[in-house]
Amino acid sequence: MLVRGETLLKNADKIKLVAIDLDGTLLDNDKKISGRAKEAIRSVRKEGIGVTLATGRMFYSTRPYADELGLSLPLITYQGALVKVSGTGEVLYERHVDAGLSQVIVEMAKEEGLTLNFYIDDYVLVEKITPEAESYARTFNARLREVGDLRRYDHLSPLKLLVIDYDEEHLDALAEKCRKVFGDVLHITKSMPEYLEFLHPQATKAFGVDAVARHMGLSPQEVMAVGDSYNDVEMFDYAGVSVVMGNARDEIKEKADYVTRSNDDDGVAEVLEKLVKVR
């Protein structure tokens, strides 16, 4: 395990909540949770530390993993746009993209010739089923609905929109252009190199984790955040302890108090075992 500082060691006894990303973090490259990670999560919970998931995934595709782990805390989904209790369906926090702004993004995707996902009621609306959309649905267990022209849905405010482009250089240029156009009226982030996401400005994992922490009566200093990508940065800045996966890009690792092993080498289990050991 790679240590960038002593923050974890010094603050281990303060941690009361661990928020863990799914893809590239808790899940291995086959989208599975290892037995070692499950046991580490059980051990952490026995110490009285709450565990939740903080992901860009839809609630629908996050809930099975929460059930597998027996988690009862609200789940942070859609990058923090929806925080919802798995068992009861109670919504703790919710932020939607303005309908008018959504249509600007719809038009932009059309002009660029890119596949656009439009998220409503835990479904992904797409104009047509493209190979990119099919790949996304398989990878993230998403429910697709082919609806034709998305401009007909100008009355709807989605939880998020996602543009798919496997030309990362082009997508990064598009992201920069969009940030200049939208300023602070949208939160724009990348969850994967090929996915550019558009959300309400208060729909980040930091806002989502804060909603769960407040629900538990906790401060940011009592939170550990574990993740691997650009959409985790706000959560890292919020939490008292930030843990970045070994498979993350170097610029993400710069945000870490602690750099653990990769997602395919039980990095989450490694850091949770360490947390329990040093308490």
Do 117 and 54 reside in the same domain of the chain? no
Per-residue model confidence (pLDDT) at position 2: 46
Q: Which CATH number covers residue 9? A: 3.40.50.1000
Could you tell me the pLDDT band of residue 279, with boundaries at 50, 70 and 90? confident
Quick one: 250 and 112 in the same domain?
Answer: no
- The answer to whether residue 3 scores a pLDDT higher than 50 is no
* 53-110 pLDDT tens trace: 999 999 999 999 999 999 999 999 999 999 999 888 999 999 999 999 999 999 999 9
Domain's final residue, options 142, 177, 199: 199
- CA triplet 219, 224, 179: central angle to 5 degrees? 90
Instruction: Give me the CATH number covering residue 112.
Output: 3.30.1240.10
The neighbouring-strand residues paired with 197 are: 162, 189
Residues 113 and 194 in one domain: yes
Q: How many domains does the chain have?
A: 2
Q: Residues 18-41: pLDDT tens digits?
A: 999 999 999 999 999 999 999 999
DSSP 193-260: TTEEEEE-TT-SHHHHHHHHHHHHT--GGGEEEEE-SGGGHHHHHHSSEEEE-TTS-HHHHTT-SEE-
Tell me, yes or no, whether 109 and 194 share the same domain: yes
With H, G, I as helix, E, B as strand and everything else as coil, classify residue 12: helix
- Residue 47 near residue 276 (C-beta atoms within 8 A): yes
Residues 38 and 104 in one domain: no
Residues 54 and 90 in one domain: yes
Q: What is the pLDDT of residue 9?
A: 64
Q: Are residues 190 and 221 in the same domain?
A: no
- Which of 78, 11, 28, 18 has the alpha carbon at shortest distance from 48? 18
d(CA 136, CA 183): 28
Domain that holds residue 193: 99-199
Same domain, 192 and 140: yes
Tell me the whole-structure pTM to 2 decimals.
0.95
Give mean pLDDT, residues 197-211: 98
**Considering 152, 169, 199, which residue would you say is the last residue of a domain?**
199
Percent of the chain with pLDDT over 70: 97
137 plus 218 within the same structural domain: no
Distance CA 173, CA 184 (A): 18
Do both 90 and 147 map to the same domain?
A: no
For residues 87 and 160, membership in a common domain is answered with no
Rg over CA atoms, the chain: 18
- The residue out of 164, 199, 234 marking a domain boundary is 199
Question: Does one domain contain both 130 and 109?
Answer: yes
